[in-house]
Amino acid sequence: MHAGSSNRLKRLVAAFAALLVALVLVPSQAQALTTEKATARPNEDGGSGVIGGIPTRLTWEGVVEDGESITSVTLTLPNGASFDNSTTKVTVLDNLTRIPNDATATPSGNTIAVKLSDPAKAGYKLRLEIEDMTFPSEGGDVVVNGSYESAGKTQELAPSKPIATIANTWLQQMVSFLDAQPWVQAWNSNQFLGMFLKPQLILTSLFSLFPGWLVCLGIVVVAYPFAILLGLVFALMKLSKFRVVRAIAVVYINVLRGTPLFLQIYIMFFGLPMMNINIDNNVLGVIVMAINSSAYLAEIFRAGIESIPTGQYEAAASLGMGRLMTMVNIILPQTVRRVIPTVTSDFIMAFKDTSLLSSVGVMELMMFSKNLTSVTGNMTPYVTAAIFYLIVTLPLIKVVTIIEKRIARSERGGGPRPKAKVADAKQDDEQTPAEPEGAEATLASALSAPFRAGTSVFGGVADVR
């Protein structure tokens, strides 16, 4: 049994060895034309991608091997691609020397046939630059295949490396639509408008910058509740009776308000890692914004608390309320109402200040704008970023204005009257007898005024019993 197994193993080894010898000894079919590269020019407005369904340029290069000559080349792309209406530039190079060649190109759907007037000899490089061709609209990795003719024989061309293409979305279709509009072309021909307000780039920037805008909103929305709590704590500390507590609050508030936010960001982002304290950039951005805003909010709350009349403290004390109960139930509710406009304005400032986080690599709105501007060489992404900031700041500015007007009107005793009270007032007016006119009215008013005021005509207190 063991001998039989050993024989079978020997036969398998011998067969495997024979297969290896056959693979080594049998020559593989050599390629007379070797594909060197196949690339496409980016056609994404505001990016570096190749989008399917939009005209671009395909560059293909091949090298003729020793002892061979090439008379024609045919390139083939997957279904959905098109060479129709394209123009082809054929270049034949011998090292760095250009070899004249009157080649003709015949496009037909997803294939294009190039026939050389003079055969490309061994060592020559053949370059095909095909303008205004399109890749499949669905995108994906596109491989350039084809064939070539050498010595009267047609052989398959080695596939190229895949070219990554992007699916043609509705956004890109809109950009293509704008590209074709005469008014857009006239608009972009103006140097200023084309550099700062390019319509196609505004459209793509709105979608490209949106994630950065969400990061800005997320940072300030998460940071601000912590800033409010810290600010209230330090405001109360600054109003404390204890000197040490007041000193801590004064140092904290003055240092943070007296130094630039930019400097505080650098200290936190570069100082903490030097102390082996590593925190996620977005989390660290929230911490920096919360600490910085808390110093300004502390002064806002302190001023609001001190604006409450002293008589309210005395009235609360007369009712037996302690200092803490007075602060929580009487003072702070009024303070919050008074400082809402100022706090909202500070929130607007904090939202805009998140742009400084781009200097330390936080991927927020300005960082996205900077990257997109460097890719496009156009300032339009920065203008689009301004639009995103205004989407938040303009409504909040309007809200602050409305709140300030209502607070001012209510403090003057103004404001709309309830409908029920207005109706009762009208009913009382209807039931009141008509006032006498002329001299009778003057006399009646003079006689009744002292009694309405509760005094006698002689200056004493009226006897109303």
CATH of the domain at 147: 2.60.40.2430
Domain presence at residue 12: no
Q: What is the Cα–Cα distance from 417 to 19, expressed in whole angstroms?
A: 102
Q: What band does 429 get if pLDDT is binned at 50, 70 and 90? A: low
Q: pLDDT tens across 26-35, in order?
A: 444 567 888 9
Domain presence at residue 152: yes
Q: Do 304 and 404 share a domain, yes or no?
A: yes
* Residue 398 domain boundaries: 210-410
Query: pLDDT at position 415, please?
Result: 57
For 53, the 3-state DSSP assignment is coil
Q: pLDDT tens across 390-400, in order?
A: 999 999 999 98
Q: Do 45 and 133 share a domain, yes or no?
A: yes
Place of tokens 């304005």: 345
Q: Which of 382, 410, 438 is the C-terminal boundary of a domain?
A: 410
Q: pLDDT tens across 287-300, in order?
A: 999 999 999 999 99
- Mean pLDDT rounded to a whole number for the chain: 85
Counted domains in the chain: 2
Q: Which residue has the higher pLDDT, 462 or 438?
A: 438
Q: What band does 406 get if pLDDT is binned at 50, 70 and 90? A: confident
Q: What band does 172 get if pLDDT is binned at 50, 70 and 90? A: confident
Structural contact between residues 153 and 71, judged by C-beta atoms closer than 8 angstroms: no
Other Cβ atoms less than 10 A from the Cβ of 463: the count is 6
DSSP assigned state of 97 = E
Q: Which residue has the higher pLDDT, 4 or 197?
A: 197
Query: pLDDT at position 431, please?
Result: 55
Lowest-confidence region among 155-164, 276-285, 330-339, 402-411: 402-411
Lowest-confidence region among 145-149, 237-241, 345-349, 412-416: 412-416
Query: pLDDT at position 272, please?
Result: 93
Domain presence at residue 449: no
